A and B are shown apart, each in its own frame.
Chain A
Amino acid sequence: MAETLIADQHAHDAAHAHQFDDVEQQRDAATMGMWVFLATEVLFFGGLFASYIIYRTLYPAAFAVASQTQDIVLGTTNTAVLIISSFAVAVAVYGAQTGRRRTTIWALALAIALGVVFLVIKFYEYYQKYVDHHVPGPSFEFPAPYTEPAKMYFTLYFLMTGLHAIHMIVGCGLLAVMIIMARRGDFTREYHSPIENSGLYWHFVDIIWIFLYPLFYLIGRHLE
């Protein structure tokens, strides 16, 4: 009896921070905090997307030719990998909401594994670019007359997918923390906002890729 009381007390403390009146207020704050944070992320990427739009409009032909050097199979595979991982995260969140701890843990593990697959493929693509002399810098090579604007294309490619990859790495770390929390039994039917918010973050990072993929792989491919 005494033991359960103490355990209750502990769970209560872990879930409820002093500045909030109740757990519900705390959950509202956490969820809203995540959405506002994602808004800042949208604008963070926004500067790069704006640059992309401007240079694509200035140099449409060069961008089309440059995107034909991309490996469409790898790009498409990666897109599929991320969509499945987002599904896995959704399952994990559902598991936490309904008290299915094992489901949560396995789904999170799957999502992380898929995230790693994505990163491995991405770095392989970077390596291919290096072999092909498509990394902007002194060794850059691209047939005239598109040398300069193609360099711009690859600059944007590395900056945007690189920033996205950094977000993926952070996301994998977050999900790993969620696994630890789930194994400790921190999540209950009432309290699961950390995993929900990590899920939001993961979906957001996926959505960024859903935009990057057509911009760098698809648009202008059919022109030749």
Chain B
Amino acid sequence: MGAVTTKTEEVQENYLNAEYGWKSWLFTTDHKRIGLLYLVSITLFFFLGGLFALLIRLDLLTPPGDMMSSEAYNKMFSMHGIIMVFFFLIPSIPAVLGNFVIPMMIGARDVAFPRLNLLSWYLFNIGGLCMLYAVVNGGVDTGWTFYPPYSSNFSNTNVAMAVTAIFIAGFSSIVTGLNFIITIHTMRAPGMTWFRLPLFIWSLYATSLIQVLGTPILAISLALVAAERLLHLGVFDPAYGGDPVLFQHIFWFYSHPAVYIMVLPSMGVVSELIPTFARKIIYGYKVVAAASVAIAIFSFLVWGHHMFVSGQSIFIGMVFSLLSYAVAIPSAVKVFNWTATLYKSSVSFQTPMLYAFGFIGLFTIGGLTGLFVAALGVNIHVTDTYFIIAHFHYIMVGGAVMGYLGGIHYWWPKISGRMYPEIWGKLAALTIFVGFNLTFFPQFILGYLGMPRRYHAYPPEFEMLNVLSTAGASILGVGYILPLIYLAWSMRYGEKAGPNPWFATGLEWRTPSPPPKKNFLETPVVTWEAYDISGQPDLVERLHNEDRIYKSALQAEERKREELGVETPAEGA
């Protein structure tokens, strides 16, 4: 990276200081700036959704649910779910980190359609404003799943507005996915073949496929609900000969794949973090890459596992159960490959890596309990209980949000040009891990004992576990506020990061931090395989000279060779 040293450090032009003023942000077509715009939007929604979660947990502190009426409670969990799913998790990694790093990772100057990219942010915010309007205008109480006939004929809340909000935000998600697919297909730098792509790209490619193919189905199912409410048409209304279960089919045909929109990108982040912080090439690159695509495909075939008790035939139930087991295989393959990568590697426990460990453990629990609930008999016992809540929060919060935070910390030096304070980073990661488990593990037990979801009151014998859960939630809340503070602080006061603080191998690390407006000073040419340090001699040299962990690992290897009497292979071979 010698090429980028300039005499005075500060004069370097980058995407942040190239232009100033609010117009230069609101009308930007730079993928990096759009990523940051998304970061601001979804962070606001994250804390709004978090506020509703806090209110839910406070209400459940006492068995009679003293804090709010059951109507208010219904609105709380509905708005929590809608905001967290559609306005935070689905855009989170793709729209923020994906926008920021995908073009750099593949050696491009921007995404294929920069103006559409900006349009997607505007669509997201228009959807977001519609949602806020629905929230302040009295809320929604249908749950994030909008099942008719309640949502279409009975609820007296702002269902039509909320549905419109999701419809619009859905198009922003489609546009993002489309942009990424085309970018990855057509804009790779010379030498960047498909099997040299970082695994993050494979994950986001698979995610984009789901966004592009799944979201239109969600849009049409919600449009039909809105049409039923506003025009009194009756596609799902039994009084017209309609079938409410048809809605569930269409809705879950999108929304099961959508859960993979939320978790696949996190898997991608983890696939970047592990080789970087273990200083090792990922184990089974092609298998991990193929697993992402396999998950995307399988995810479209299992929606019926949400309807085991909706009057589905036993035969169809068995088919969906079997297919749900099948979708767990590629996920498990990834977990095994990550752990195999860690085997005998030299791990450095920096903050992003802590999140990666958190992801692996919590995702595994979430995935395995997914298998519990995909078994027909067990499902009937636990469906619509807190067991389900715990299952998907282990994946969506324990998995997806951990991956998101890990990615934010990992790429923060690239985004801001500064390091976050490492001690605070570790502290926050641990707080989040402890808080998370304390919040959601008791919910497995509660669900197993029979506490139903979506009720604002519960029998007194469940009090103890609910109090624990609420205590955990407050710790979790603190854990989420910490990064907000120290990341903001570090933008000004953090240590200068330099182009590649992690000794990582991706192309995004071969350009200054923060990157120049066009990403690279000159178009990079790729001659090495993914995660292979030996292809970048300057990096190997830096590792030798600067990295304590790498040095000690090399020494250990050397000693071993001597013991065994094997010759040292030539450098860079």
| Inter-chain contacts of A47 with B (CB < 8 A) | 216-217, 220-221, 224, 250
- Closest chain B residue to A17 by CB distance? B114
Q: Contact mask B226-242 → A, CB, 8 Å, 1/0?
A: 01000111110001111
Contacts A19-B111, A43-B217, A159-B227 given; indicate if A152 touches B178 (C-beta within 8 A): no
14 residue pairs bridging A and B, Cβ less than 8 Å apart: A17-B114, A25-B187, A33-B112, A37-B178, A43-B216, A47-B216, A47-B217, A51-B250, A54-B243, A54-B246, A149-B241, A152-B235, A155-B233, A159-B235
Give the interface size bracket for B toward A.
Answer: 35 or more
Report the Cα distance A218→B186, complex, angstroms.
43
Q: Does A181 contact B (CB under 8 A)?
A: no
Q: Does B263 contact A (CB under 8 A)?
A: no
Beta-carbon contacts under 8 Å, B198-252 to A: 212-217, 219-221, 224, 227, 231-235, 239-243, 246, 249-250
| Inter-chain contacts of B333 with A (CB < 8 A) | none
Q: Contact mask A43-55 → B, CB, 8 Å, 1/0?
A: 1111110110011
Contacts A36-B178, A43-B217, A155-B234 given; indicate if A55 touches B109 (C-beta within 8 A): no
Give the interface size bracket for A toward B.
Answer: 35 or more
| Inter-chain contacts of A33 with B (CB < 8 A) | 112-113, 178, 182
Contact B216–A151 (Cβ < 8 Å): no
Q: Does A220 contact B (CB under 8 A)?
A: no
Contact B182–A36 (Cβ < 8 Å): yes
Please tell me which one of the listed residues B174, B215, B232 contacts residue A137 in the complex, with CB atoms under 8 A apart: B232
Contact B212–A39 (Cβ < 8 Å): yes
Shortest C-beta distance, A184 to chain B (Å), equals 20
Contact B174–A40 (Cβ < 8 Å): yes
Report the Cα distance A209→B362, complex, angstroms.
49
Known: A137-B231, A158-B233. 15 other contacts (CB 8 A): A18-B110, A19-B112, A20-B112, A21-B523, A29-B112, A29-B186, A33-B113, A33-B178, A36-B212, A39-B212, A136-B240, A149-B241, A151-B240, A151-B241, A159-B233
Q: Does A156 contact B (CB under 8 A)?
A: yes
Shortest C-beta distance, B253 to chain A (Å), equals 8
| Inter-chain contacts of A32 with B (CB < 8 A) | 181-182, 185-186
Report the Cα distance A29→B212, complex, angstroms.
16
Q: Does A148 contact B (CB under 8 A)?
A: yes
Shortest C-beta distance, A37 to chain B (Å), equals 6
Shortest C-beta distance, B210 to chain A (Å), equals 11
Q: Does B108 contact A (CB under 8 A)?
A: yes
| Inter-chain contacts of A149 with B (CB < 8 A) | 241
Q: Does A28 contact B (CB under 8 A)?
A: yes
Shortest C-beta distance, A20 to chain B (Å), equals 8
Contact B216–A41 (Cβ < 8 Å): yes
Please tell me which one of the listed residues B182, B221, B240 contacts residue A29 in the complex, with CB atoms under 8 A apart: B182
Q: Does A59 contact B (CB under 8 A)?
A: yes
Report the Cα distance A98→B333, complex, angstroms.
52
| Inter-chain contacts of B181 with A (CB < 8 A) | 32, 36
Contact B212–A58 (Cβ < 8 Å): no
Please tell me which one of the listed residues B111, B215, B219, B235 contacts residue A155 in the complex, with CB atoms under 8 A apart: B235
Report the Cα distance A55→B178, complex, angstroms.
32
- Closest chain A residue to B221 by CB distance? A47
Beta-carbon contacts under 8 Å, A36-77 to B: 36-37, 39-41, 43-48, 50-51, 54-55, 58-59
| Inter-chain contacts of B178 with A (CB < 8 A) | 33, 36-37, 40
Contact A59–B220 (Cβ < 8 Å): no
| Inter-chain contacts of A58 with B (CB < 8 A) | 241, 243
Contact B220–A48 (Cβ < 8 Å): yes
Report the Cα distance A204→B224, complex, angstroms.
23
| Inter-chain contacts of A20 with B (CB < 8 A) | 112, 187
Report the Cα distance A18→B518, complex, angstroms.
9
Report the Cα distance A35→B166, complex, angstroms.
24
Report the Cα distance A59→B213, complex, angstroms.
29
Q: Contact mask A1-39 → B, CB, 8 Å, 1/0?
A: 000000000000000011111000100110011001101
Contact A136–B234 (Cβ < 8 Å): yes
Contacts A19-B111, A28-B186 given; indicate if A46 touches B217 (C-beta within 8 A): yes
Shortest C-beta distance, B237 to chain A (Å), equals 9
Report the Cα distance A193→B242, complex, angstroms.
44
Contact A39–B241 (Cβ < 8 Å): no
- Closest chain A residue to B113 by CB distance? A33
- The listed residue with most A CB atoms (<10 A of its CB), out of B111, B232, B240, is B240
Contact A136–B216 (Cβ < 8 Å): no
| Inter-chain contacts of A148 with B (CB < 8 A) | 239-241
- The listed residue with most B CB atoms (<10 A of its CB), out of A20, A43, A59, A152, is A43
| Inter-chain contacts of A46 with B (CB < 8 A) | 216-217, 220
